[in-house]
Amino acid sequence: MSKLTQSWISARCLALAAIVSFAPRAACAAITVDSAGDDAPGAPNKQCTLREAVTNAVDHAQTEPDCTTGGTTTDIAFDSHVAVVNLDPKLGPLQVGLDSDVVIHGPVTVTLPPGVTGVSQFFVDAGSRLELDDVVLENGNAVEGGLIRADGEIVMHGGAARLGHATLGGAIAVRDRATFSGVEFSANTARTGGAIEIDSTADVLIEDSQFFANGATDTGGAVSAVNGFGHLTIWRTSFIANRADSPLTGSGGALSIAGHGTVRIEDSIINRNVSTGPLGGAGAEFGVNARAQIVNTEFRDNQVESLKPTAVGGGFAHRGGALGSIDVARSNFSGNIAWVGGGAFVGPGSLLTIENTTLTGNFADPAGLPARPDSGSGAALYADSAAVEFRNVTVKDNAGVSQLSAHNAAELRFANTVAWAPQGVLNCDGQGARVNLTSSMQSPDAAGASCSLAVIASPASAVFDGPSTIFTSAAGPPMVAVSHEIWSPKSGGPLSKSGDKTTCSDPALVGGIDERELPRAVACDVGAIEGP
Whole-structure pTM value: 0.93
Can you give the residue ranges of every domain in the chain? 375-532
The pairs formed by 59-66 with CB atoms below 8 angstroms and a separation of 24 or more are: 59/98, 60/26, 60/100, 66/39
- What does the pLDDT read at residue 17? 38
Which has the closest alpha carbon to 328: 384, 264, 373, 412? 264
Using alpha carbons, select from 528, 485, 470, 486 the residue that is nearest to residue 504. Answer: 528
pLDDT at 480: 59
pLDDT at 474: 58
Residue 519 CA to residue 530 CA, distance in Å, equals 8
Phi, psi (degrees; rounded to nearest 5) at 59: -80, -10
Distance separating alpha carbons of residues 415 and 403, to the nearest angstrom: 17
The secondary structure of residue 41, as a DSSP letter, is: T
Q: Which DSSP state fits 518? A: P
The span from the CA of 4 to the CA of 406, in Å, is 59
The Cα 396–Cα 98 span in angstroms is 58
What is the spatial distance between Cα 71 and Cα 121, in angstroms, rounded to a whole number? 22
Q: Say which residues have a Cβ less than 8 Å from residue 189's Cβ, sequence separation at least 6.
A: 164, 165, 170, 214, 215, 216, 217
Residue 72 has what pLDDT?
73
CA 165, CA 179: separation in Å to the nearest integer? 21
What SS3 class is residue 203? strand
Q: What is the pLDDT of residue 441?
A: 98
What pLDDT does 479 receive? 52
Best CA proximity match to 200, nearest among 235, 151, 244 = 151
pLDDT of residue 69: 65
Please provide the DSSP assignment of 418-454 as one string.
Answer: EEEPPTT-EEEESSSEEEEEES-EE--BTTBSTTS-E
CA distance 170 to 144: 8
The torsion region of residue 292 among left (phi > 0), alpha (psi -120 to 50) and beta comes to beta
Spatial CA neighbour of 358 closest among 307, 402, 397, 322: 397
Residue 503: helix, strand or coil by DSSP?
helix
**pLDDT at residue number 388:** 98
Q: What's the CA gap between 24 and 59, in Å, rounded?
A: 16
Q: What is the DSSP letter of 493?
A: S
C-beta atoms surrounding 522 within 10 Å: 10
What are the φ and ψ backbone dihedral angles of 90, each rounded to 5 degrees?
A: -70, -20
The confidence score (pLDDT) of residue 58 equals: 94
How far is the CA of 519 from the CAs of 88, 229, 524, in angstroms? 59, 36, 10
pLDDT tens for the chain, 532 residues: list them. 444 444 444 445 544 433 323 333 333 579 999 999 999 888 888 999 999 999 999 998 889 999 976 567 899 999 999 999 999 999 999 999 999 999 999 999 999 999 999 999 999 999 999 999 999 999 999 999 999 999 999 999 999 999 999 999 999 999 999 999 999 999 999 999 999 999 878 899 999 999 999 999 999 999 999 866 678 999 999 999 999 998 888 899 999 998 777 899 999 999 999 999 999 999 999 999 999 999 999 999 999 999 999 999 999 999 999 888 999 999 999 999 999 999 999 999 999 999 999 999 999 999 999 999 999 999 999 999 999 999 999 999 999 999 999 999 999 999 999 999 999 999 999 999 999 999 999 999 999 999 999 999 999 999 999 788 876 665 544 455 666 789 999 999 999 999 999 999 999 899 999 999 999 988 999 999 999 8
The values of phi and psi at residue 410, to 5°, are -70, 155
Backbone φ and ψ for 485, nearest 5 degrees, come out as -90, 135
Query: Nearest CA to 466 among 510, 531, 395, 381?
Result: 531
